[in-house]
């Protein structure tokens, strides 16, 4: 075999390998974006539709105050009294990092509704869209 024939055979083999590799299917995405902002956006949408817009009695005295644009890297949502939104928050749910680490705290986390808050927030942060 001449050297030019070897080079042509190697080039053909490389081309064939590239073509085969390009036909391979890609792995599916591994789920929702796990960044703090994306996680809190999902939680805010869930809380707004399931707790407030639905007329849920457990949240009827409150309103949602999202603070997703955070320079601290901790986007959050606040639940405040409906008639005094400038007052201290009764619930703070915030996330930090990628993947997001969630925290929920405030007076509402000492009430019976805290179990529901925790399960809802966990579901929504993982990509679930259902209300309880």
Looking at the domain assignment, is residue 94 inside a domain?
yes
Q: Please tell me the total count of domains within the chain.
A: 1
Instruction: Collapse the DSSP code of 60 into the 3-class scheme (helix H, G, I; strand E, B; otherwise coil) and give the result.
Output: coil
Residue 115 maps to a domain: yes
Task: Assess contact for 76 and 99: CB atoms under 8 A.
Answer: no
Contact yes or no for 93/42 (Cβ under 8 A): no
- Residue 12 covered by a domain: no
pTM as predicted: 0.75
Looking at the domain assignment, is residue 58 inside a domain? yes
DSSP H or E run through 102: strand 101-105
**CA-based Rg of the chain, rounded to a whole angstrom?**
25
Domain that holds residue 63: 36-125
Could you say which DSSP state residue 110 is in? G
Instruction: State the angle between helix axes of 36-47 and 114-125 in degrees (0 to 180), rounded to the nearest 10.
Output: 130
The pLDDT value recorded for residue 71 is: 81
pLDDT tens by residue, the chain, 132 residues: 555 444 444 333 343 333 333 344 444 456 779 999 999 999 999 999 999 999 999 999 999 999 999 788 899 999 999 999 899 999 999 999 999 999 999 999 999 999 999 999 999 999 999 998
Please report the pLDDT score of residue 51 as a whole number. Answer: 97
């Amino acid at each position: 075999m001449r050297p030019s024939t070897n080079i042509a055979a190697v080039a053909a083999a490389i081309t064939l390998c590239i073509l085969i590799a390009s036909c391979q299917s890609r792995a599916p995405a591994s789920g929702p974006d796990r960044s703090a902002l994306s996680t809190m956006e999902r939680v805010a949408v869930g809380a707004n539709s399931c707790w407030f817009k639905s007329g849920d009695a457990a949240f009827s005295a409150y309103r949602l105050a999202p603070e997703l644009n955070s320079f601290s890297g901790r986007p959050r949502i606040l639940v405040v009294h409906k008639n005094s939104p400038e007052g201290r928050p009764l619930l703070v749910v915030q996330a930090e990092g990628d993947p997001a680490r969630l925290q929920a705290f405030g007076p509402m986390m000492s009430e019976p509704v805290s179990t529901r808050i925790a399960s809802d927030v966990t579901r929504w942060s993982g990509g679930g869209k259902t209300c309880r």
